Structure 1
Amino acid sequence: MRIEIWADMVCGWAHIGKRRLEKALASWEGEPVEVVWRPFQIDPSAPAKAEPLAGLLSDPMVEEALQVCSPGLSPSDNRARVAGIAAGEGLGAQWGATWRPNTLDAHRLIALAYETGGAALQSAVVERVLTAHFVQTLDIGDPGVLSAIAAESGVPWDGRGADLVRELLLTGKAKGVRTSPTIVVGGRALAGAQPPDVIRDFLADAAGQPARRLPAEVERLRHAESLLDQRDPLGALTLLRPLLDEHGTDRGVRLLAARAYFASAQLGRARTALEELVADVPDDSYVRHLLGRTLQRQGRPEEAATHLTLAAVMTPDYGDL
């Protein structure tokens, strides 16, 4: 059973959640598990060069970002509460971050650790990064800090992994991950750093009703559609890119790409894709309607009218739009 943990390395609950999951698994008697860490960002607007946290906690933008992993609490109240809980979990009395880093490179290191040595190495690197941030109070956005962790861990530290992390962030968004940490097993999710007994119950339920594994291409298509539904057409196109390269003749892939082009105002690409789809299936009223709207937005009313009229004849509801 694969356990995915979607978490950010600057979220204290992620450190606590790691300890609690380890305690839950220590007494787990079910099927073997693989724990894989996935990226999530609670503060994607953090600058490339880290800032000291002192004085930033009263910033409304920072407070809004931190609410993702501490809903209902002010940053100062949350820090005190989480520090106490962390001490209770054995993470040490001197626990608490001092930097506001951007975590993209830390996530890149963690993703490369999994590629290099699998779940065991990745877990060790995650522990090292969390300790650096919360116990050693280092800047985990600093290339030197990450390079040292990579060298200690035997992870090749080069320019690879950036595209993978971006895709994984979009995949988490498509799956509905909204907080750090979130444990995902199959199609089930458990949000927050829950107590070990709650985690064990969750894993037992997930193991008792295993989700049917879809082909990777189908999952990617569904995730792209989810992003489009969430009004992130550029994210949808990012996930669609490999499908367009490998399955560019598939009608479903082409139509979803056309919708994403239209939603992101790439009207030339939308028009080309939709004209090809209309040529393949002239009686598809939805494609006709979307092509008509694309032509309208391009300032081609006469051409648009032809397609909009045909779409309305085939599906009268389109005449009311």
Structure 2
Amino acid sequence: MRIEIWADVVCGWAYIGKRRVERALEGLDVEVVWRPFRIDPMAPAQAVPHEEAMADPTVDAALRRCAPDLTPGENRVRVALVAAEEGFGWTWGPAWRADSRDAHRLIALALEHGGPALQDAVAERVMKAHFLDRLDISDRGTLHRLAADAGFAGGGALLDAGAGDELVRELLLKGKAMGVRTSPTIVAGSEALAGAQSAEVIREFVLAARPARRLPEEVERYRHAESLLDQRDPLGALALLRPLLDEHGDDRNVLMLAGRCYYLSAQLGRARAVLERLVAATPDDAYARHLLGRTLQRQGHAEEAGPHLRMAAVMAPEYA
């Protein structure tokens, strides 16, 4: 059985959760895969001292994504106490507000090139470096050394070549589509467990999990794109939809979803082209006609929009 841990390496609860997961899975045949989550996507590209960063109100927002039920101040105290209880000691605490993007790339690449064991070794060293060794994990040189220490000798070169950037971007969108809202979130089968729960709770959760029904990759990608659009993220939806447009560009459902995304992201020229194609293929599709009419209206083509809007209203009164 495989479980996924969606977490940010700069979230203290993620490192605490890692220790609890390790205890929870003792004696079980379970494969663990780490997936990216960003609690602090606004972190500066150049790391700043942690104490200085605490004055930035965006840091409070980040901490709430790590512990939604605690105030930022309560979270800082609570995580330090729990870290000590978990055996991390009283030297716990980051020295830097660091951008975790490259660290996530390195961890994702470790899975691709060495499997879950190598990925776990890299994730462990990255979090230890941040919370215990007080290193700047946004620094490329630091990540090179951590990769080598973990046995991922080629990791640094892959980072420098830009590898893993698109992979992490897609995984972050997938997590959002799946409803991942906090770090860490453990996904087993079709169920999710949010937060760094106790080892006992995690073990019960994993033992009770049933494998999710595997969907074709194209279907899963389409559903995730739909979910992002429902969350008012049309650009994210388009990013996931792009491979489907390349490979299944004649599929009506794919085209309709793309048309909706283009319309909601104000890419009106592209929306018009897709919707005109759909209306030409299926003239009795009331929704396609209505959306085409709205698109033409927004482009300032009221006369062209009128027939489509009137026809849509005749076919479906809700569009009147």
Which of the five TM-score ranges fits, normalised by the shorter chain?
over 0.9
Check conservation: 2:6, 2:175, Cα contact below 8 A: yes
| Distance of 2:283 and 2:65 partners within structure 1 | 47
Q: Which residue of 2 aligns with 1:79?
A: 76
Deviation string 1:190-234 (CA, Å, 9 cap, x unpaired) is: 000001111111112213xx3211111101000001111111100
1:7 equivalenced with 2:7 (yes/no): yes
Letter in 1 for 2:182: T
Correspondence list, 1:148-159, <5 A: 148-152=145-149, 153-154=151-152, 155-157=154-156, 158=158, 159=162
| Distance of 1:72 and 1:43 partners within structure 2 | 17
| Distance of 2:255 and 2:306 partners within structure 1 | 23
Q: What is the CA-CA distance between 1:78 and the residue it aligns to?
A: 2.1
1:21 equivalenced with 2:21 (yes/no): yes
Q: Which residue of 1 aligns with 2:129?
A: 132
Letter in 1 for 2:37: F
Aligned sequence identity (%):
66
| Distance of 2:257 and 2:95 partners within structure 1 | 44
Q: Which residue of 1 aligns with 2:64?
A: 67
Check conservation: 1:237, 1:260, Cα contact below 8 A: yes
| Distance of 1:253 and 1:129 partners within structure 2 | 39
User: Which range moves more in the overlay, 157-166 or 269-278?
Assistant: 157-166
Q: Could you state the TM-score of these two structures normalised by the residue count of structure 1? A: 0.95
Correspondence list, 1:292-303, <5 A: 292-303=293-304
Q: Which residue of 2 aligns with 1:235?
A: 236
Q: Which residue of 2 aligns with 1:318?
A: 319
Q: What is the CA-CA distance between 1:91 and the residue it aligns to?
A: 2.0
| Distance of 2:316 and 2:147 partners within structure 1 | 59
| Distance of 1:27 and 1:201 partners within structure 2 | 13
Q: What is the CA-CA distance between 1:156 and the residue it aligns to?
A: 3.0
| Distance of 2:315 and 2:93 partners within structure 1 | 63
Correspondence list, 1:205-244, <5 A: 205-207=208-210, 210-244=211-245
Letter in 2 for 1:225: E
Q: Which residue of 1 aligns with 2:195?
A: 192
**3-state DSSP class of the match of 1:265?**
coil
Q: Which residue of 1 aligns with 2:171?
A: 168
| Distance of 1:317 and 1:78 partners within structure 2 | 49
Q: What is the CA-CA distance between 1:248 and the residue it aligns to?
A: 1.1
Deviation string 1:146-187 (CA, Å, 9 cap, x unpaired) is: 111122322433220001101100110000000000001222
Q: Which residue of 2 aligns with 1:249?
A: 250
Correspondence list, 1:110-129, <5 A: 110-129=107-126
| Distance of 2:2 and 2:311 partners within structure 1 | 49
Q: Against the structure 1 CA distance between its residues 183 and 36, is the aligned structure 2 distance closer, same or farther, given a 3 Å change threshold?
A: same
Q: What is the CA-CA distance between 1:246 and the residue it aligns to?
A: 1.1
Letter in 2 for 1:44: P
4+ residue runs over 6 A deviation: none
| Distance of 1:242 and 1:313 partners within structure 2 | 36
| Distance of 2:30 and 2:280 partners within structure 1 | 49
Check conservation: 1:24, 1:200, Cα contact below 8 A: yes
Letter in 1 for 2:228: L
Letter in 2 for 1:65: A
Check conservation: 2:144, 2:155, Cα contact below 8 A: no
User: Which range moves more in the overlay, 35-44 or 69-78?
Assistant: 69-78
Q: Which residue of 2 aligns with 1:46?
A: 43
Q: Could you state the TM-score of these two structures normalised by the residue count of structure 2? A: 0.95
**3-state DSSP class of the match of 2:107?**
helix
1:204 equivalenced with 2:203 (yes/no): no
Letter in 2 for 1:270: A
Deviation string 1:110-131 (CA, Å, 9 cap, x unpaired) is: 0000001000000000000000
Letter in 1 for 2:10: V
Q: What is the CA-CA distance between 1:72 and the residue it aligns to?
A: 4.2
Count how many residue pairs are aligned between Structure 1 and Structure 2: 314
Check conservation: 1:262, 1:294, Cα contact below 8 A: yes
| Distance of 1:283 and 1:251 partners within structure 2 | 14
1:96 equivalenced with 2:99 (yes/no): no
Give me the CA root mean square deviation: 1.2
Question: Structure 2: which 5+ runs fail to align?
Answer: none
Check conservation: 2:67, 2:182, Cα contact below 8 A: no
